[in-house]
Chain A
Amino acid sequence: MKKEKKKKRKKLVRYNTPFEKICTLPSLAGILTFYIVPFFAVIYYAAVDNPISKKFVGIMNFKNLFTNDAFITASKNTVVLALITVPPAVVFSMFLAMLMESKIPGKSVFRSIFLSPVMVPAASVVLVWQVLFHYNGTLNSIFAKLFSLDPVDWLKSEYCLVVIAVLFLWKNLGYNMILFLSALSGMPKDLLEVADLEGAGRLYKFFAIKLRYLSPTIIFVTILSMINSFKLFREVYLLTGDHPFNRLYLLQHYMNNTFKSLDYQKLSSAAIVMMVIMSVIIGALIFFDDRFGGDIEE
């Protein structure tokens, strides 16, 4: 009996057909050409002194990078921006998803409105942001009228971080909300019903059941928001051009300037450093997910 079963299973093993392999070829060729192979060139450039004399210098390029003020400032700013933007992006979007699950009327309209900034190009609304956040702009005049506050130079002071965070939330909350909504709809209803019958309160239901089921989504939204926070260069560039306020000088600005000077050593070593750091962060989050979210997934 057991033997028979084994035999049967052996028969079911299926080899990958040539057609399936051929299908992946165009994509593989492209990935190799544009991402993987040149990446070896990146490693090579990071290890030599310059593209002409090609002398091997070990980790000197990295040492130079870490003593480069521009790189340090850019990294610090990028990290600070991620730290400021990611937690509210996760929390607020979860809240919006809960709002969509409550009994309010006109939910589909609200959903569309919250989702619409995902589709609106950043460059299109930048004019409105500029008028809104200008020193003599709308926001300052509203604050002055309502609370008689002194005007703040939103884009050229420490407050610029707040402005960018607002732009980020405006753009990304809808997308994250949809992710949370789909996680919420996949939650077993009977569990919540039992909790209701047992007389569990709103807060208990939220912390003991929902949050637990949402944890894989929370991890994913965190990763996604982090990656999106690296794209904030777009907004910063559109709002402030090539030369932003010091706190908004991001890694992308650094890379752009290094491209202009064609300094392959700096570029390559910076790319490698960023890659390593991102891998560590993403790896840690996925590990976290496996460790603590594993018992929930099927």
Chain B
Amino acid sequence: MKNVSKEEQIKRDLKRAKKRHSAKKRRDAIITMLLTIFALISAAAFIMPTVLTAVNSFMSKTEINADYGAVFSSIMPGSRTYISKTINLKFIPDKVSFDQYKTVLFLSPDYIFKFWNSMILTVPVVLFQTAVALLASYGFARMKGKFKNAVFLVYVFLMLMPYQVTMVPNYLVTDKLGLLNTRWAVILPGIFSPFAVFLLTKVMKRVPSAFYEAAMLDGANELSVFLHVYLPVCRSAIFSVMMLIFIDYWNMVEQPLILLSDSALHPLSVFLSRINSEETGIAFAVAVIYMIPALLMFLYGEDYLVEGITYSGGVKG
């Protein structure tokens, strides 16, 4: 009699536990479903502007002008003309056409020049900032002492300053050197920007000093330790830093506005904002062409980008 009740007791407990467990499971499933729906909605919002730009670049010029012409003509300074028609973004072109691309690539060399301006301002900064920073960060990562720490702190401080502060000294020097209104005015301060030094020093500090000592014992000199030990170990970090520098300079707006008064030298980023009513027909194609280098980098190097962002976390070395 007693035995039975005990067994029953256990059975009942088990049943209750199972019930509780399945209730928890169900609740978890509902939460996961809600989170998935939320993620889907926000992902749609995140990707929409990029997709819309791409889709609209395949509309013919006449279609663009008919749809959005009013928006861009009323943006022109001074005019506050309100149009009665509502303007809606279109997800699907009436007729797919490569009209815009044809015009941009073959008929209006202006845009190609601006694209080239962007390239010629960005690529040297990416390459040389990385090169200068690789050397410096090797030094900073290996050296010890209070003086070095103080100098490095200056780098961190400079890195955290907004551009509105650093552009004044930049401007004064480029003016003194007679480089104002030449590409060097943008490129040179960019090359010596402290950002890459800060990031790469952090990365190189993680290289175990045993590597260094082993190489030295084997009779390597310091240059070859730097070239054959440190650089290969930090390879992926170097790619990520280059990507981060590229995005920053590919996007530049402030520097050309101040340092390059000749608008013929302006990069595409500044030029795109000046697009007026006559050019709206091809603006989307220009925007897409401008996106392509950055998006290609993202497609092939997303993991490097993630790695680079991860390294950038934390102010302290």
CB pair B166 A35 closer than 8 Å = yes
Contact of B211 with A by CB under 8 A: no
Contact of B313 with A by CB under 8 A: yes
CB pair B161 A121 closer than 8 Å = no
Centre residue among B155, B164, B305 by max chain A CB count within 10 A: B164
Candidates A120, A138, A259; contact of B89 at CB < 8 Å: A138
CB pair B86 A140 closer than 8 Å = yes
Candidates B74, B168, B188, B297; contact of A267 at CB < 8 Å: B168
CB pair B71 A137 closer than 8 Å = yes
CB pair A274 B53 closer than 8 Å = no
CB pair A26 B135 closer than 8 Å = yes
Q: Name the interface size band of chain A.
A: 35 or more
Residue of A nearest to B258 (CB): A259
CB pair A182 B253 closer than 8 Å = no
Q: Which B residues between 138 and 178 are near A, CB-CB below 8 angstroms?
A: 138-140, 142-145, 148, 151, 154-155, 157-158, 160-173, 176
Q: Which A residues between 240 and 257 are near B, CB-CB below 8 angstroms?
A: 241-243, 251-252, 255-256
Nearest chain B CB to A110 CB, angstrom units = 5
Residues in A neighbouring B47, C-beta threshold 8 A: 113, 116
Nearest chain A CB to B275 CB, angstrom units = 8
Nearest chain B CB to A275 CB, angstrom units = 5
Q: A39-B169, A116-B46, A117-B46 are in contact. Are A131 and B71 (CB under 8 A)?
A: yes
Candidates B32, B49, B269; contact of A123 at CB < 8 Å: B269
Residues in A neighbouring B58, C-beta threshold 8 A: none
CB pair B162 A130 closer than 8 Å = no
Chain B residues within 8 Å of chain A by Cβ, number: 109
CB pair A123 B251 closer than 8 Å = yes
CB pair A119 B295 closer than 8 Å = yes
Alpha-carbon distance A242/B263, docked complex (angstroms)? 15
Q: Which A residues between 109 and 140 are near B, CB-CB below 8 angstroms?
A: 109-110, 112-132, 134-138, 140
Contact of B98 with A by CB under 8 A: no
Interface class of chain A by DSSP: helix
Q: A34-B188, A41-B169, A118-B305 are in contact. Are A237 and B253 (CB under 8 A)?
A: yes
CB pair A23 B53 closer than 8 Å = no
Alpha-carbon distance A242/B76, docked complex (angstroms)? 11
Candidates A41, A125, A183; contact of B172 at CB < 8 Å: A41
Alpha-carbon distance A212/B238, docked complex (angstroms)? 32
Candidates A112, A132, A182, A227; contact of B162 at CB < 8 Å: A227
Residues in B neighbouring A179, C-beta threshold 8 A: 309-310, 312-313
Interface class of chain B by DSSP: helix
CB pair B53 A124 closer than 8 Å = yes
Alpha-carbon distance A141/B294, docked complex (angstroms)? 33
Alpha-carbon distance A271/B86, docked complex (angstroms)? 44
Candidates B28, B168, B284; contact of A271 at CB < 8 Å: B168
Residues in B neighbouring A256, C-beta threshold 8 A: 257-258
Contact of B97 with A by CB under 8 A: no
Nearest chain A CB to B162 CB, angstrom units = 4
Alpha-carbon distance A252/B164, docked complex (angstroms)? 6
Alpha-carbon distance A20/B216, docked complex (angstroms)? 14
From A61-69, A83-91, A97-105, A187-195, give the one contacting chain B. A97-105
CB pair A178 B309 closer than 8 Å = yes
Contact of A55 with B by CB under 8 A: no
Alpha-carbon distance A102/B30, docked complex (angstroms)? 13
Residues in A neighbouring B140, C-beta threshold 8 A: 24
CB pair A233 B253 closer than 8 Å = yes
CB pair A119 B43 closer than 8 Å = no
Alpha-carbon distance A175/B157, docked complex (angstroms)? 21
Nearest chain A CB to B176 CB, angstrom units = 8
CB pair A119 B298 closer than 8 Å = yes
Contact of A209 with B by CB under 8 A: no
Q: A28-B151, A136-B70 are in contact. Are A110 and B43 (CB under 8 A)?
A: yes
Candidates A130, A259, A271; contact of B71 at CB < 8 Å: A130
Q: Which A residues between 23 and 40 are near B, CB-CB below 8 angstroms?
A: 23-24, 26-28, 30-31, 33-39
Q: A20-B139, A220-B314, A252-B254 are in contact. Are A125 and B53 (CB under 8 A)?
A: yes
Residues in A neighbouring B315, C-beta threshold 8 A: 220, 223, 282, 286, 289
Centre residue among B38, B250, B309 by max chain A CB count within 10 A: B309
Nearest chain A CB to B156 CB, angstrom units = 9
Residues in B neighbouring A105, C-beta threshold 8 A: 36
Alpha-carbon distance A256/B86, docked complex (angstroms)? 35
Contact of B265 with A by CB under 8 A: no
Contact of A268 with B by CB under 8 A: yes
Nearest chain B CB to A85 CB, angstrom units = 14
CB pair B258 A115 closer than 8 Å = no
Contact of B83 with A by CB under 8 A: yes
Contact of A54 with B by CB under 8 A: no
List the 7 shortest-distance A-B pairs measured between CB atoms, nearest first. Answer: A30-B192, A27-B136, A38-B169, A23-B139, A24-B139, A230-B162, A119-B298
24 intermolecular pairs with C-beta atoms under 8 Å apart: A19-B222, A19-B226, A20-B143, A23-B139, A24-B135, A24-B140, A26-B132, A27-B133, A31-B192, A37-B169, A102-B35, A113-B43, A116-B298, A123-B290, A124-B291, A125-B49, A125-B53, A136-B83, A220-B315, A255-B168, A259-B258, A270-B168, A279-B157, A282-B315
Apart from A131-B89, A138-B88, A238-B269, list 16 A-B contacts with CB within 8 A: A22-B139, A23-B138, A27-B132, A34-B192, A35-B158, A38-B169, A115-B306, A121-B290, A122-B253, A124-B50, A129-B49, A130-B72, A216-B314, A217-B313, A237-B253, A278-B162
